[in-house]
Structure 1
Amino acid sequence: MTAPLPHLEQTPARIIDRSFLQDVVAGLRAPQKHLSAKYFYDRRGSDLFEQITRLPEYYPTRTELAILDSYGPEIAAGLPPGAALVEFGSGSTAKVRRLLPHLTDLSTYVPIDVSEEFLRSEAEELGRDFPRLRVEPVAADFTKPVTLPDDLRDAPKVGFFPGSTIGNFEPEIAAALLGSFARTLGAGATLIVGIDLVKDKAVLDAAYDDAAGVTAAFNLNLLARINRELGADFDLDAFAHQAFFDENLGRIEMHLVSRRSQLVTVAGVPFHFASGETIHTENSYKYTVPGFRALARGAGWEHARVWTDPDALFSVHALTASTIRRH
């Protein structure tokens, strides 16, 4: 739990999101300064991430889409008829659109996303493109318990969690999230989840530090957002993007490195940065297929199938909820 921000009532009135402010202050006070990756995605950050997905170095998106295209009929064949498809953190509907043509007897699609306006817009567009499909969006934070619409109580449930988003969580938190999905979906449910695989370090490093500098701009945009929304005075030119694969921990780490000794204020709260000191902004864990199977089993899921691309860069897994753990 983050410590209360002192004198919160004295912060500038234009700062609306006090939880954002409290998270930033708590993160910058930590011995290893850090910021939550969930704050990357303002409008500019979302646009930059879409650019990242099209970069030649960034293999995950195009590889996962190719797997969904190639194995869509097999994935669909393993799902129960009349199911409700529940997508956690739906965002853009680009990936579910690759599956929907194969899910001819799907009863309902339930996209879950925290951004209600974007969620409604995407749901409406999808409904126009698939007029026979019932779409019931749920505005919620998928990392917390989610209540599904009452009219889906008796329908078999299929979860969809693409993009290797689970890699952004520490393994014990990822396991807890998988357990939460099982409780939301119910015993016997299926979960289709995208998992990025361990591979050559050079491939991973390049994917998160591209030659065009788009990922660097994405990382630095977090400081621009803090400046704009929290009254901070970060000099973006005084920080550099850093990304690398830590082979011991099995994860990509992204940092912002202070180029010099400097003082920065956020809503009037001062923070000193030594030259070379970093702000840790994101982790992206990579798994082996057996490693992810073990993680899923510990969270109450049995492994059913896995599909990979020919180069074994990425994987899509089908899991079945075997036990529902209440805590």
Structure 2
Amino acid sequence: MSPSAVNEILQGLSAPEKYISSKYFYDDKGSAIFQQIMEMPEYYLTNAEQEILAQQAAEIITETGFDGPFNVVELGAGDGSKTFELLSYLDSANREVTYVPVDISKAAIDGLAADFTKRLPRLKLNPKVGDYFEVLKDRLQSESNPSLLLFLGSNIGNYMPADALNLLRLFHQNMAAGDALLLGADLQKNPEVIRKAYDDPHGITRNFNLNLLDRFNRELNANFERDQFEFYCYYNPLSGEVRSYLVSLTDQIVDLADEQIRFKKDELIWTELSKKYSFQELEGMAQTAGFEVKKHFLDTRSYFTNSLWIKSD
């Protein structure tokens, strides 16, 4: 883990209200646990998005206006399961496409590349391991062919509103005129449906959060005791926010990267935000970031949207 990452973690755990950035969930083990989350029946987001991409792929590509060769750049690709149906359609339609999956997990990218080489042998693959902010800077504007940028799985909902807007502006800044962004976003709905997706009865989301502590033990010479923390989350339907926490079960001192972190009994570590959107919020974000909204593609239950935005200038 880089010195800047260590400093960020220490800063968060030393704050009056402790926090850990959700990006640290995704070491190789965390990425594997998240694959389990996506397979849970309660976690409707995966099936809703896959339904959209499987059943509306042709219309999505038509709406981009791309007639010739183009790139599909997926940020946070994981194992590629979110995108397989879309790429399968492009393959069957004999479209000339280069797929650029980007993920911080080398294991995820290696697995994706091996799987897609077997399942879609004609697909041009250019996988990238690393922070997708850096890949964006190096990649999009140097391309002669247009790009369809994929930010799926409601990843945008993990950012605070100002940070989400800054991220979208960064996308816009590094895209060429005419490039497209397909943004996955979870929509506001029955609060109980949302609660079950993030506080599952199988304990997988709990394990996902506690793996943060295991990761710090492995990589930062920390001595967190897993059984001295518990997972807690709640959904606020007025703000559309799911917030997840780890709760210290006792007064304790933890060593981490040559520092000592003090926890009081019942003190919280905020680990994740999962924002649920209205269409009005999405369209406002698009306009503020400089995009034109072409269309919201919905699943049959209207739980989820893949919204297609175009950079018009």
Query: TM-score normalised to the size of structure 2?
Result: 0.91
Which residue of 127, 130, 136 corresponds with 2:120?
Answer: 130
Please say which of residues 112-121 and 246-255 is displaced more in the overlay: 112-121
Q: Distance in 1 between matches of 2:267 and 2:62?
A: 51
Partner of 1:282: 272
Residue 301 of structure 2 aligns to a residue whose secondary structure is coil
Query: Which amino acid is the alignment partner of residue 81 of structure 2?
Result: A
The Cα shift of 1:262 comes to 1.8
Q: Distance in 2 between matches of 1:26 and 1:279?
A: 12
The Cα shift of 1:119 comes to 2.5
Partner of 1:95: 82
Residue 5 of structure 2 aligns to a residue whose secondary structure is helix
Q: In angstroms, what is the RMSD of aligned CA positions?
A: 1.9
Query: TM-score normalised to the size of structure 1?
Result: 0.88
Partner of 1:239: 229
Task: Say whether the 8 Å CA contact 2:24–2:212 is kept in structure 1.
Answer: yes
The Cα shift of 1:279 comes to 0.3
The Cα shift of 1:295 comes to 0.5
Q: Distance in 2 between matches of 1:218 and 1:121?
A: 20
Q: What do residues 128-163 of structure 1 show as CA deviations (whole Å, max 9, x unaligned)?
A: 43232222223341234421278x622122111111
1:166-315 pair list within 5 angstroms: 166-315=156-305
Query: Which amino acid is the alignment partner of residue 52 of structure 1?
Result: I
Partner of 1:164: 154
Task: Say whether the 8 Å CA contact 2:18–2:269 is kept in structure 1.
Answer: yes
Q: Distance in 2 between matches of 1:61 and 1:34?
A: 27
Partner of 1:51: 36
Partner of 2:27: 42
The Cα shift of 1:304 comes to 0.5
Q: Unpaired runs of 5+ in structure 1? A: 1-15
Which residue of 24, 37, 47 corresponds with 2:9?
Answer: 24
Query: Which amino acid is the alignment partner of residue 252 of structure 1?
Result: V
The Cα shift of 1:24 comes to 1.9
The Cα shift of 1:308 comes to 1.2
- The 3 A distance-change label for structure 1 pair 231 and 63 is same
Task: Say whether the 8 Å CA contact 1:309–1:315 is kept in structure 2.
Answer: yes
The Cα shift of 1:211 comes to 0.7
The Cα shift of 1:72 comes to 1.6
- The 3 A distance-change label for structure 1 pair 106 and 289 is farther
Q: Distance in 1 between matches of 2:146 and 2:220?
A: 44
- The 3 A distance-change label for structure 1 pair 235 and 121 is closer
Q: Distance in 1 between matches of 2:202 and 2:301?
A: 24
Q: Distance in 1 between matches of 2:258 and 2:110?
A: 37
Task: Say whether the 8 Å CA contact 2:241–2:273 is kept in structure 1.
Answer: yes
Question: How many residues were matched structurally?
Answer: 307
Q: What do residues 279-318 of structure 1 show as CA deviations (whole Å, max 9, x unaligned)?
A: 0011111111121111011101110011112222111111
Partner of 1:154: 144
The Cα shift of 1:48 comes to 1.4
Partner of 1:320: 310
Query: Which amino acid is the alignment partner of residue 192 of structure 2?
Result: A
Partner of 1:8: none
- The 3 A distance-change label for structure 1 pair 176 and 101 is same
Query: Which amino acid is the alignment partner of residue 158 of structure 1?
Result: L
Q: Distance in 1 between matches of 2:140 and 2:299?
A: 35
Q: Unpaired runs of 5+ in structure 2? A: none
Query: Which amino acid is the alignment partner of residue 148 of structure 2?
Result: V
- The 3 A distance-change label for structure 1 pair 139 and 218 is closer
Task: Say whether the 8 Å CA contact 1:86–1:157 is kept in structure 2.
Answer: yes
Q: Distance in 2 between matches of 1:138 and 1:55?
A: 28
Partner of 1:60: 45
The Cα shift of 1:90 comes to 1.8
Residue 148 of structure 1 aligns to a residue whose secondary structure is helix
Query: Which amino acid is the alignment partner of residue 83 of structure 1?
Result: F
Partner of 1:74: 59
Instruction: Report sequence identity in percent.
Output: 36
Query: Which amino acid is the alignment partner of residue 20 of structure 2?
Result: L
Query: Which amino acid is the alignment partner of residue 163 of structure 1?
Result: G
Task: Say whether the 8 Å CA contact 2:28–2:107 is kept in structure 1.
Answer: no
The Cα shift of 1:248 comes to 4.1
Q: Distance in 1 between matches of 2:39 and 2:84?
A: 18
Please say which of residues 18-27 and 227-236 is displaced more in the overlay: 18-27
The Cα shift of 1:124 comes to 4.5
Please say which of residues 283-292 and 131-140 is displaced more in the overlay: 131-140
Q: Distance in 1 between matches of 2:147 and 2:28?
A: 32
Task: Say whether the 8 Å CA contact 1:188–1:322 is kept in structure 2.
Answer: yes
Query: Which amino acid is the alignment partner of residue 63 of structure 1?
Result: A
Decide which structure has greater helix share.
Answer: 2
